[in-house]
Amino acid sequence: MIVALHSVLRPGAVDGYRVEHAAIPDDLDAAFSRVGIRGWTIWRSGERLFHVVDCDDFDAAMAELDDDPANVAWQASIGRWVEVFRDADGADGFAPLEQVWSLAAQRARSAP
């Protein structure tokens, strides 16, 4: 499954976030693999971040990572740069964004 997330950096945090997020710790990478996260890409527009996560089951992965020591340490570190996550309606919340359209899905529906 692929999900998209939206977060917002704290004012003035762009440069610090870039430096901090140049790479994630090896133990977090291993935890991601263990919980079925195959890929995670982040794009930035101003102070807004857009994440695309390729995983087996997003909710299950997040539940497993909640108490994982590698994730807890990473959240404490990266959290100083991130102000908030937003849901599909723009409210505070760590919920995937609504997928509106997909070229691949459209093509699959049209295939004979």
pTM: 0.92
pLDDT of residue 112 exceeding 90: no
**For the domain bounded by 2-110, which CATH number is listed?**
3.30.70.1090
CA contacts within 13 A on the Cβ side of 101: 3
- b/e code 64-76 from CB counts within 10 Å (16+ = b): bbeebebbeebee
Q: Mind listing the pLDDT tens digit for each residue in 55-89?
A: 999 999 999 999 999 999 999 999 999 999 999 99
Q: For the residues 95-112, what does the mean pLDDT come to? A: 94
